[in-house]
Chain A
Amino acid sequence: MTDTLKPRDNKDVEDAVRWALAEGKTLEIVGHGSKRGIGRPAQTDATLDLSGLVGVTLYEPEELVLTARAGTPIAEIEALVASRNQQLAFEPMDYGPLFGAPGGRGTIGGILAANLSGPRRIKAGAARDHFLGMTAVSGRGETFKSGGRVVKNVTGYDLCKLMAGSWGTLAALTEVTIKTLPRPETEATVLVLGMPVDAACKAMTVAMGSSCDVSGAAHLPADVARNASGDLPPGAAVTALRLEGVAPSVTHRRRALEAVLQTFGKLTALDHAASQALWRSIRDGLPLIATDPAAHGALWRISLPPSEGARFAARMPDSARILFDWAGGLLWLRVTQRGETLAPLVRDTVRACGGHATLIEAVTALHRVTDVFEPQDGSLGALTKRVKEGFDPNGVLSPGRMWAGV
């Protein structure tokens, strides 16, 4: 059994990394472990559990900023900002249910380290766009900070962005500052029913190209819509477009959007509560949870130019179930194949479309034989490796989680 170190403060984190450096050990960084299954399987000597670093240390709603220790539960932060009618606009997804764990777990540090964003990413930006400042301990066992506690800042390199999406391979975040934004007063979702994938992607493009300020655009084919929340009409493919804001604006934009979309198919709409339920279910990929263990296969997350969503989908096997978010720019792909047979097709297709694919969930055998994150070679791969070596020259922090040798 590997050791678990549970630091109480920044100094403990420094000590842990220095110990690992001196002893030639490796550390896996975790918060609540809700995303632990993501990444290449790596053997580490000890676990650095940051879930003991808790507490919001600054929250000034009128300045739109919040500072918290990295292990603070995201649920606590979301409840706190909601009490002041604010939200984290990047709508962080919760991976728990997809991995068969309860929802509502995860830490703010984990959300940022994985750069998790939800459906609103198309309008409000990703987690990295809301990450303003940080303190962290690098693989050198040294504490460093970057950014600040103001929303506009260009002083020095923006290391927050580099940490976002580095999955704990460069540094252990100990404290973070994020931007908070007003929560929309109300929301509604316009649904177009029964469209095939290519028509749906066209409809989403039209909606995104309108002045309706759409804050969520997703397509759920019938076999995916079946498992989604939000009282969807049964049996039909659903294309959903979310509108948020003050009531008069939502009413006005709903009319405008319906006018733009009426030629695409039958329209209906979801009110505030049903809309919230639907988008939460899309955010967390709930319709793709494997309900039938026998059919349990791999889950891929594909990022593409939105116009390529339909083309990518057309090249996947008929048995694949696909949830289209980000107006066609984010595909969650559930395949039934257990083996590694589909990995080359996914990688080749995503390369042809211009984007990248991450293998989120797979039977262990697949993890062992295929890459998890998009493979990088040539000058980009070499650059990535040099960046890693700058922060973590001895490869102490989650080595190999993203790519072998990084």
Chain B
Amino acid sequence: MAITMPELDAAVLARRDRIVAALCAIVPGEGVIASEQAMRPFESDGLTAYRALPMVVVLPDTTEQVRRVLAYCHRESIKVVPRGAGTSLSGGALPLTDGVLLGMAKFNRIRDIDFANRVVVAEPGVTNLAVTQAVEHAGFYYAPDPSSQIACTIGGNVAENSGGVHCLKYGMTANNVLGCELVLMNGDVVQIGGRHLDAGGYDLLGIITGSEGLLGVITEITVRILKKPETARAVLVGFMRSDDAGDCVSRIIGAGIIPGGMEMMDRPAIHATEEFVHAGYPLDVEALLIVELDGPQAEVDHLIARVETIARECKAVTCKVSASEQERLLFWAGRKAAFPAVGRISPDYYCMDGTIPRAKLPQVLKRIRELSEHYGLRVANVFHAGDGNLHPLILYDANKPGELDKTEAFGAEILKLCVAVGGVLTGEHGVGVEKRDLMPTMFSETDLAHQQRLKCAFDDKGLLNPGKVFPTLHRCAELGRLHVHAGRVPFPDIPRF
């Protein structure tokens, strides 16, 4: 772990007792956790290679408490790290030794279900799956479905702009959120959007979504719900070459078909998952594609036939259409268990998350294989093929000296490769601490300064989740300075009328 976190604030640490007492006054009862043992479960999130004990954990359960905690910390210049369920795969909720960890788990109520406007109003600690469960009796669901949906919270989903296997057709979190109540670091409470489709004014909702807990703490969220499609069927297609699989994906989209889900796995991923789940995957293929079509029966039948034709044209060696709901779920069971399945064949694994233009897939897979040999580390690839979001899983053993460092170096090379072919560092897991220092491979100093000034508008002292997303912290006063030429500047040489 070679990442530098913000310098410890000795003055804050020195008054820890007083800070804990002040927080206890704001959040009474068991809302403040200060003993080392009790804080231990909070020391990391889904990116377990990084750990730190927070100074103190606070678990508020009203907006007013959140407001007072933040206003107090702002006044006292104390850092704050917000946390949902702690399932982040990029270290977004990694605590700071001199910071307050603000856990939102007690905000776990659904406040309103509004079928007429097709929205659910939920507190941020409600799990993703619980939103769907609250409305499925009426045939509705919440579309974004990250793999961690049983545990991850809707507040965390907004912070990370979470995706899932269905986001090619149904969008990411940002496309499914209509409003939120946000508490700023200075204690201001801001209402943004609501139950209408477009919030007025600047699209603050659009930047809060995916802001990784750096702009404010969300205390209420309004999300859209959709009517469940009439039916869904999946096709399992095997290829001898990953190029053919990539070609098949392109041709399906080229034919005007946007599947509900389209996932690819390479040979190591197929073998790991088949041994774990016994989904009936063919073991003699190089690439496996799951294509799911959803909608009215008539539409699904029509499109499945077209997908089968395209698959055959792309030299598919196996092609199996789910004949029942049970079989469809079995097709998915392997893919959905890909991470734990890989976890069974290796002591540890490191999950990467880059997006690439899909056409570059063969080139990227080839290079990943070369790097795998170079580093002497195995890789299994799962791929949200429809939107180009690649998840290479690097297999390693943390107990072998130096292997984690080697893994991180390998991972960084994969992400740089994604950027080099026209892609991006992260498709859905977020930058967090994990990819923070790679940001300059995608963004210039000027790009990052414009992003950081936005942070300054929300958090003038840089107290909310510092050390995440941005490789270098600048003071807002320094960022705000505008350099204008002192003397007169000639009228620029631009055509004028």
Given A63-B388, A155-B442, A356-B196, A209 and B494 touching (CB < 8 A)? no
Contact status A162-B355, CB under 8 Å: no
Q: Tell me which of A3, A5, A151, A384 contacts B168 (CB under 8 A).
A: A151
Given A15-B492, A154-B210, is A6 in contact with B171 using a C-beta cutoff of 8 Å? no
Q: Are B297 and A152 in contact (CB under 8 A)?
A: no
B-contact 0/1 string along A138-154, CB 8 Å cutoff: 10101111101111111
CB neighbours (8 Å) of A21 from chain B are: 482, 484
- Determine whether B469 belongs to the interface, using a CB cutoff of 8 Å to chain A: yes
Contact indicator B202/A166 (Cβ below 8 Å): yes
Residue B489 lies at the interface, judged by CB distance under 8 Å to chain A:
yes
> Roughly how many angstroms separate A125 CA and B388 CA in the complex, as a whole number?
21
| Assembled-state Cα–Cα distance A185/B427 (Å) | 30
CB pair B227–A391 under 8 Å, yes or no, is: no
Contact at A393–B489, with CB atoms within 8 Å? Answer: no
- Min C-beta distance of B318 to chain A, whole Å: 24
Interface residue B329 (Cβ < 8 Å from any Cβ of A): no
The reply to whether A373 and B302 contact each other, CB–CB distance below 8 Å, is no
B209 pairs with A158, CB closer than 8 A: yes
Chain B interface: which of A36-44, A300-308, A316-324?
Answer: A300-308
- Nearest to A302 among chain B residues (CB) is B196
Q: A3-B496, A152-B388 are in contact. Are A391 and B171 (CB under 8 A)?
A: no
Pair A394/B257 contact, Cβ less than 8 Å: no
B:292-306 near A, CB below 8 Å: 295-299, 301-303
Is B198 among interface residues, defined by CB-CB distance under 8 A?
yes
Answer whether residue B424 sits at the interface, using C-beta atoms and an 8 A cutoff. Answer: yes
Verify if A354 is at the interface (C-beta below 8 Å from B). yes
For A230, the chain B residues whose CB sits under 8 A away are: none
**Interface presence of B447 (CB below 8 A):** yes
Question: CB-CB < 8 A to B384: which residues of A?
Answer: 152
Instruction: Decide if A18 touches B196 in the complex (CB within 8 Å).
Output: no
Proximity string of chain A (49-89) to chain B, C-beta cutoff 8 Å, 1 when within and 0 when not: 10010000000111111000000000000000000011000
User: In residues 327-372 of chain A, which contact B (Cβ within 8 Å)?
Assistant: 329-330, 354-356, 358
Mark out the residues of chain B between 451 and 484 whose CB falls within 8 Å of any chain A CB in the assembled complex: 451, 453-458, 469, 480, 482, 484
Q: In the complex, A393→B477 CA distance in Å?
A: 12
Contact A19 B491, beta carbon cutoff 8 Å: yes
Asked if B495 and A305 make an inter-chain contact with CB atoms under 8 angstroms apart, the answer reads no
For the complex, give the distance between the alpha carbons of A158 and B117 in Å.
27
Give CA–CA (A212, B312) in the complex, Å.
31
| A152–B195 touching, CB < 8 Å | no
Cβ of B206 and Cβ of A158 under 8 Å apart?
Answer: yes
Say if the beta carbon of B201 comes within 8 Å of chain A. yes
Known: A150-B424, A153-B426, A249-B299. A5 touches B494 (CB 8 A): yes
Compute how far the CA of A144 lies from the CA of B447 in the bound complex, rounded to whole angstroms.
5
Contact in complex: A249, B295 (CB < 8 Å): yes
| With A154-B427, A158-B207, A159-B207 as contacts: A5 and B496 at CB distance below 8 Å | yes
Q: What residues of A have a CB within 8 angstroms of the CB of B446 in the complex?
A: 142-144
Q: Shortest Cβ distance from A366 into chain B, in angstroms?
A: 19
- Contacts known (A6-B495, A355-B194); A165 close to B118, Cβ less than 8 A: no
Q: Are A156 and B256 in contact (CB under 8 A)?
A: no
| A252 B454 Cβ-Cβ under 8 A | no
Interface residues on B, range: 35 or more
In the bound complex, what is the Cα–Cα distance between A121 and B171 (angstroms)?
13
User: What residues on A are CB-neighbors of B451 within 8 Å?
Assistant: 146, 156-157, 159
The answer to whether B454 and A12 touch across the interface, beta carbons within 8 angstroms, is: no
Main secondary structure, interface of B, reads: loop
Residue among A18, A212, A390 with the highest chain B CB neighbour number at 10 A: A390
Question: A115 an interface residue at 8 Å Cβ cutoff?
Answer: yes
Answer yes or no: B258 CB below 8 A from chain A CBs: yes
Q: Could you tell me the distance in whole angstroms from the C-beta of B63 to the nearest C-beta in chain A?
A: 13
In the complex, what residue of chain B is closest to A169 when comparing beta carbons?
B202
**Shortest Cβ gap from A333 to chain B (Å):** 15
Q: Is B238 an interface residue (CB 8 A)?
A: no
Kindly list chain B residues whose C-beta atoms are within 8 Å of the C-beta of A153.
355, 424, 426-427
Task: Specify which of B184, B254, B297, B435 is in contact with A383 (CB 8 Å cutoff).
Answer: B184
Which of A128, A145, A157, A205 gathers most chain B CB within 10 Å?
A157
- 1/0 contact trace for A235-274 toward B, CB 8 Å? 0000000000110110111001000000000000000000
List which A1-49 residues lie within 8 A (CB) of chain B. 3-8, 12, 15-16, 18-19, 21-23, 49
In the complex, the answer to whether A374 meets B200 with C-beta atoms within 8 Å is yes
Instruction: Give residues of chain B (140-194) contacting chain A, Cβ–Cβ below 8 Å.
Output: 160-161, 163, 167-168, 171-172, 174-175, 184, 188-192, 194
Question: Which of B206, B387, B427, B449 counts the most A-chain CB atoms under 10 A from its CB?
Answer: B206
**Contact residues in A for B490 (Cβ distance below 8 Å):** 19
Q: Assess A150 versus B197: contact at CB under 8 Å? Given A5-B496, A128-B203.
A: no
Say which residue of A148, A157, A373 sits within 8 Å of B424 (CB atoms).
Answer: A148
Min CB distance B377 to A, Å, is 24
A389 at the interface (CB under 8 A from B): yes
A305 to B116, CA, bound (A): 9
A147: nearest residue on chain B (CB-CB)?
B424
CB neighbours (8 Å) of A161 from chain B are 174, 203, 205-207, 209
Selected contact of B296 from candidates A7, A22, A122, A252, CB within 8 Å? A252
Q: Which residue of B lies closest to A160 (CB)?
A: B206
Q: Is B425 an interface residue (CB 8 A)?
A: yes
A151–B494 CA distance with the chains assembled, in angstroms: 35
Is the C-beta of A379 less than 8 angstroms from some C-beta in chain B? yes
> Residue B267 at the A interface, CB < 8 A?
no
Bitwise interface map of B from 90 to 128 toward A, beta carbon under 8 Å scored 1, else 0: 000000000000000000000000111111000000000
- Tell me whether B358 and A63 are in contact (CB under 8 A): yes
Q: Say whether B356 contacts A246, CB under 8 Å.
A: no
Also in contact, A373 and B425, with CB within 8 A (given A146-B451, A307-B116): no
B71 CB-CB contact with A under 8 Å: no
**CA A399 to CA B174, docked complex, whole Å:** 29
Q: Tell me if B197 and A326 are in contact (CB < 8 A).
A: yes
Contacts of B297 in A (CB 8 A): 252
- Asked if A354 and B195 sit within 8 Å, CB to CB, the answer is yes
CA distance A307 to B118 in the complex (A): 10
**Residue A246 contacts which of B189, B199, B207, B299 (CB distance < 8 angstroms)?**
B299
Q: Are A63 and B357 in contact (CB under 8 A)?
A: yes
The complex places the Cα of A150 from the Cα of B226 at a distance, in Å, of 25
Ordered by A's residue number, 22 sampled pairs between the chains whose C-beta atoms are within 8 Å are A6-B494, A6-B495, A23-B489, A142-B450, A145-B443, A154-B426, A156-B443, A156-B451, A158-B174, A162-B207, A181-B258, A182-B258, A208-B118, A209-B118, A211-B139, A211-B228, A211-B296, A246-B303, A248-B301, A383-B458, A387-B202, A387-B454
Instruction: A150-B355, A307-B114 given; name 11 further pairs at CB < 8 Å.
Output: A4-B497, A63-B357, A138-B450, A152-B167, A154-B160, A161-B203, A213-B296, A249-B298, A303-B200, A380-B201, A393-B480
Binding site for A on B (CB under 8 A): 114-119, 139, 160-161, 163, 167-168, 171-172, 174-175, 184, 188-192, 194-207, 209-211, 227-230, 250-251, 253-254, 256-258, 295-299, 301-303, 355-359, 384, 387-389, 422-431, 435, 439, 442-444, 446-451, 453-458, 469, 480, 482, 484-485, 488-497
